[in-house]
């Protein structure tokens, strides 16, 4: 087994120091990212340029020496690889040509899938040699439900009326789409592991909008299938699940998907998580990303409280959701010092 700190913690070992990385640790809060981002015409082109994505992945490591590097890409490269039109408008977020029903699903194609994702694989192959020896390399994908919401809504959403409408009234269509995404996401992640990813994170950012029965169908079941596929081929690679907003359903997610670790959003109570979840999975999280933006005493207190309560078992320090664009880089430096000083 790897002796990298992050991997030991994800396998359930209590480690000192506490390993850490931060969701969206690369990105627009860093001036050096904004500089190289300007070299690509648009965000998808950026993601398809290993010369730029390798550099973007390394930038936060140079400043803060996190215990993990995460592949620089996006969850929406998967719909693009399936032939759906995807674009990122500056300041507006992602735009997709929304799927309307089974005919649109039938038009998705796996023919160019791996070819279109080749830049992610190449980025990982280069990162294996570019990152420090003690740093773990994380690959990732969006979970089927979260990716499906973007494909159905045509972009970001507040109420998820269309995607949840499919769950309730076009169930067979949603089943077909989720099955396709489950299959192809597993393939994508296996290829990432073959290219050098040592840990996998599955981002189910919108799992929390699903009621219990729907959560089991569209979040837990696909995650379990993906975990089973990866385990069968790569039993040593730890898998982190992130069913953001799942509340009390975090317990079912941990017990029923078989993930090695679960990433907690900032609303999850710490002592409940330590007692209910940590016997079954390592924990990751969960500093409020707005508290990192705010900084100061409050950030220091909360960081120590998290480490005190969750650090008794397998634990990786992280945020409850990605770094916000307005976050001052000095606050991230201070956070890294506090985590290291905590021992």
Active site residue 150: yes
* Tokens of residue 322, six digits: 């990605």
Among 205, 257, 286, 318, binds ligand CP3 (CB under 6 A): 205
What is the footprint of ligand CP3 within residues 241-300 (CB under 6 A)? none
Query: Token match 């499919």: residue?
Result: 166
Query: Which residue lies nearer to ligand CP3 by CB, 271 or 326?
Result: 326
Among 17, 247, 258, 322, binds ligand CP3 (CB under 6 A): 322
- Other Cβ atoms within 10 Å of 281 Cβ, number: 26
Q: Is 43 in the site for ligand CP3 (CB under 6 A)?
A: yes
Q: Is 152 in the site for ligand CP3 (CB under 6 A)?
A: no
Active site residue 16: no
* Tokens of residue 118, six digits: 């080749």
Q: What is the smallest separation between the CB atom of 121 and ligand CP3, expressed in angstroms?
A: 16
Query: Which residue lies nearer to ligand CP3 by CB, 26 or 193?
Result: 26
Count CA atoms closer than 13 A to 83's CA, side-chain side: 11
* Tokens of residue 180, six digits: 């396709």
* Tokens of residue 306, six digits: 């998290």
Ramachandran angles phi, psi of 153, nearest 5°: -80, -25
Active site residue 179: no
Question: What is the per-residue binding string for ligand CP3 in 94-113, x denoting contact by CB under 6 A?
Answer: x-------------------
Query: Token match 């030991």: residue?
Result: 8
Of 74, 173, 204, 265, the catalytic one is 74
Ramachandran angles phi, psi of 286, nearest 5°: -140, 40
Q: Is 28 in the site for ligand CP3 (CB under 6 A)?
A: yes
Of 29, 121, 150, 253, the catalytic one is 150
Of 28, 116, 229, 334, the catalytic one is 28
Active site residue 340: no
The runs of H, that is alpha helices, within 131-170 are 144-153, 161-169
Q: Is 229 in the site for ligand CP3 (CB under 6 A)?
A: no
- Of 321, 311, 241, 317, residue with least CA distance to 271: 311
Among 74, 198, 260, 302, binds ligand CP3 (CB under 6 A): 74
**CA–CA distance, 332 with 324 (Å, rounded to integer):** 11
**CA–CA distance, 229 with 185 (Å, rounded to integer):** 10
Among 51, 93, 279, 296, binds ligand CP3 (CB under 6 A): 93
- Of 282, 228, 219, 290, residue with least CA distance to 249: 219
Q: Is 63 in the site for ligand CP3 (CB under 6 A)?
A: no
- The strand pairing partners of 316, in sequence order, are 284
Which residues make up the interface to ligand CP3 (CB under 6 A)? Answer: 23-28, 37, 43, 70, 72, 74-76, 88, 93-94, 140, 142, 156, 203, 205, 322
Residues designated catalytic: 24, 28, 37, 74, 150
């Amino acid at each position: 087994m790897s002796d990298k700190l992050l991997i030991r913690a994800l396998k359930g070992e209590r480690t000192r120091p506490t390993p850490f990385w931060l969701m969206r640790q690369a990105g627009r809060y860093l001036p050096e990212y904004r500089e190289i981002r300007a070299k690509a015409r648009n965000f998808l082109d950026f993601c398809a340029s290993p010369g730029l994505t390798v550099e973007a992945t390394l930038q936060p490591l140079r400043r803060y020496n996190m215990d993990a590097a995460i592949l620089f890409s996006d969850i929406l490269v998967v719909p693009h690889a399936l032939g759906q039109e995807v674009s990122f408008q500056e300041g507006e977020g992602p735009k997709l040509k929304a799927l309307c029903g089974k005919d649109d699903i039938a038009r998705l194609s796996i023919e160019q899938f791996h070819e279109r994702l080749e830049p992610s694989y190449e980025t990982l192959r280069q990162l294996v040699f570019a990152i420090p020896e003690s740093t773990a390399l994380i690959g990732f994908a969006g979970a089927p439900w979260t990716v499906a919401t973007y494909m159905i809504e045509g972009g970001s959403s507040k109420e998820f009326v269309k995607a949840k409408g499919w769950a309730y009234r076009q169930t067979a269509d949603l089943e077909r789409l989720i099955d396709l995404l489950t299959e192809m996401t597993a393939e994508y992640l296996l290829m990432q592991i073959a290219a050098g990813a040592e840990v996998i994170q599955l981002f189910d950012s919108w799992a929390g909008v699903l009621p219990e029965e729907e959560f089991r169908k569209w979040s837990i079941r696909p995650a379990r299938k993906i975990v089973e596929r990866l385990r069968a081929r790569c039993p040593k690679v730890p898998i982190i699940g992130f069913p953001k907003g799942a509340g009390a359903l975090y317990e079912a997610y941990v017990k029923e998907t078989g993930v090695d670790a679960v990433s907690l959003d900032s609303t999850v109570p710490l002592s409940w998580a330590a007692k209910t979840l940590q016997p079954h999975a390592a924990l990751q999280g969960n500093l409020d990303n707005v508290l990192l933006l705010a900084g100061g005493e409050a950030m220091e207190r909360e960081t120590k409280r998290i480490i005190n309560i969750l650090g008794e078992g397998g634990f990786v320090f992280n945020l409850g959701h990605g770094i916000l664009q307005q976050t001052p880089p000095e606050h991230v430096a201070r956070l890294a010092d506090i985590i290291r000083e905590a021992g």
